[in-house]
C-alpha cells in the first residue's frame, strides 16, 4: 500500500468513526452519548494512559469497519496511525460537546478553521496557533491542540477530522513534519485572509 492510499484509508476510518458517533447521538442514543463523554476524558492525553478508550476508538461496529491492518501495532508502543486516530477521535468528542451541528465538516482543513477562529475572535489566537506549530514534544502539542479545540467549539467552527488525522500521523514522522507545518500555516492564512481584504472592499464601495 502506498503512502497516499494508506493516508486515505486512515482518513476514511476516522471520518466514519466520528460521523457514526454523531449520528447515533443525534438519534438520541444514550450509549453514544456515554461514549462521547468517555472519549472527552482522553482529549489531549497519551493514548497509553487510557486503555479503556481503545475499544471505542478501534473496535468494529455496524457503521465502522475494522481499524486498518497496516496501522495496527505489534510492539509496546502505539503506531503513528493509532496515535493519530486516538487523538483525532478524542478531540472530536471534546469539539462536539453541547453542539447540535456536526463539528466534522469534510474538506474544511484544521489550519483554515484556526484562521477563521482568529478572524472571529482576536489576533492573539495566532500566537496560540504558532505555539502549536513550534511544539516539538507530544505533551506540548497535545496541550495546544486541546486548547484550540475548546476555542473552536465555543465559536462553533468545524473542520475535517479525517484530514486532521492524516495530517497528525505525518506530524509524528520527522521526515514529513515540516510539510504538515507548512500546510497548516498556509491553510491558516486562507482562513484569516478575509480580515485583511475588508479595508480595500470598504474603499472600493465608497
Q: Which domains does the chain have, with CATH numbers?
A: 3-205 (1.10.520.40)
Closest CA relative to residue 14, chosen from 172, 185, 159, 149: 159
**Looking at 4-18, 25-39, 101-115, 117-131, which range is the least confident one?**
4-18
Helix (DSSP H) and strand (DSSP E) numbers for the chain = 9, 0
Check residue 201 and give its pLDDT: 44
Question: 133-191 pLDDT, tens per residue?
Answer: 999 899 999 999 999 999 999 999 999 999 999 999 999 999 999 999 999 999 999 88
The residue that leads in pLDDT, 122 or 83, is 83
Amino acid at each position: 500500500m502506498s503512502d497516499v492510499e494508506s493516508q486515505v484509508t486512515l482518513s476514511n476510518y476516522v471520518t466514519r468513526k466520528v460521523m457514526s458517533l454523531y449520528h447515533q447521538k443525534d438519534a438520541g442514543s444514550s450509549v453514544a452519548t456515554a461514549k462521547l463523554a468517555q472519549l472527552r476524558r482522553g482529549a489531549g492525553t497519551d493514548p497509553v494512559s487510557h486503555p479503556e478508550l481503545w475499544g471505542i476508538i478501534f473496535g468494529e461496529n455496524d457503521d465502522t469497519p475494522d481499524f486498518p491492518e497496516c496501522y495496527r501495532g505489534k510492539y509496546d508502543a502505539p503506531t503513528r496511525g493509532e496515535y493519530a486516530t486516538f487523538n483525532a477521535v478524542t478531540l472530536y468528542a471534546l469539539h462536539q460537546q453541547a453542539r447540535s451541528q456536526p463539528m466534522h465538516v469534510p474538506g474544511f482543513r484544521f489550519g483554515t478553521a484556526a484562521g477563521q477562529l482568529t478572524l472571529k475572535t482576536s489576533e492573539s489566537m495566532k500566537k496560540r496557533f504558532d505555539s502549536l506549530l513550534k511544539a516539538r514534544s507530544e505533551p506540548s502539542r497535545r496541550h495546544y491542540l486541546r486548547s484550540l479545540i475548546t476555542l473552536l467549539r465555543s465559536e462553533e467552527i468545524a473542520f475535517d477530522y479525517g484530514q486532521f488525522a492524516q495530517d497528525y500521523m505525518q506530524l509524528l514522522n520527522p521526515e514529513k513534519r515540516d510539510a504538515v507545518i507548512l500546510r497548516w500555516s498556509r491553510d491558516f492564512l486562507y482562513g484569516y485572509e478575509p480580515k485583511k481584504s475588508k479595508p480595500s472592499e470598504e474603499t472600493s464601495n465608497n
